Amino acid sequence: MKNTKKQKNRVVENGKIYITATFNNTLVTISDDGGQVIVTSSSGMHGFNGARKSTPYAATVTTESAVRKAVTDHALRSAVVFVKGIGPGREAALRALKASALEIDVIIDVTPVPHNGVRPPKIRRV
């Protein structure tokens, strides 16, 4: 007999949306203001695999389904958006967010940028 815990649908008015757009995938995570995750979604969860996971269409489908679930199950109304990465799904995910019923307060780019990079290799002596 399994001891399963039933997830209660919390009402979350304001939240945070984290979009991670890599070259191979697009991940969307929606959390409340405290950082507790309420919805996660990725391109692979929606039937895309291989090179199709990194397409803008896959990012659109992923973002729309995550937002729809957050709005219907948790009554999310407004959100702050954090975008990370330079993948092809970045702009498509933002466009899907704009088209949704959510009120977007701020869009913040949190892509890490190296200040100095890695140490170059030593000079070859032939």
The residue range of the domain holding 90 is 14-109
pLDDT at 1 over 90: no
CATH of the domain at 53: 3.30.420.80
Tens digit of each residue's pLDDT (9 = 90 or more) over 38-76:
999 999 999 999 999 989 999 999 999 999 999 998 888
DSSP assignment of 45-79: GGT--GGGGGSHHHHHHHHHHHHHHHHHHH---EE
pLDDT at 7 over 80: no
Q: pTM surpassing 0.75?
A: yes
Residue 16 tokens read as 């945070």
Count of structural domains within the chain: 1
CB 74 within 8 A of CB 38: yes
Sole residue written with tokens 């649908």: 9
CA distance 119 to 121: 7
- Residue 22 belongs to some domain of the structure: yes
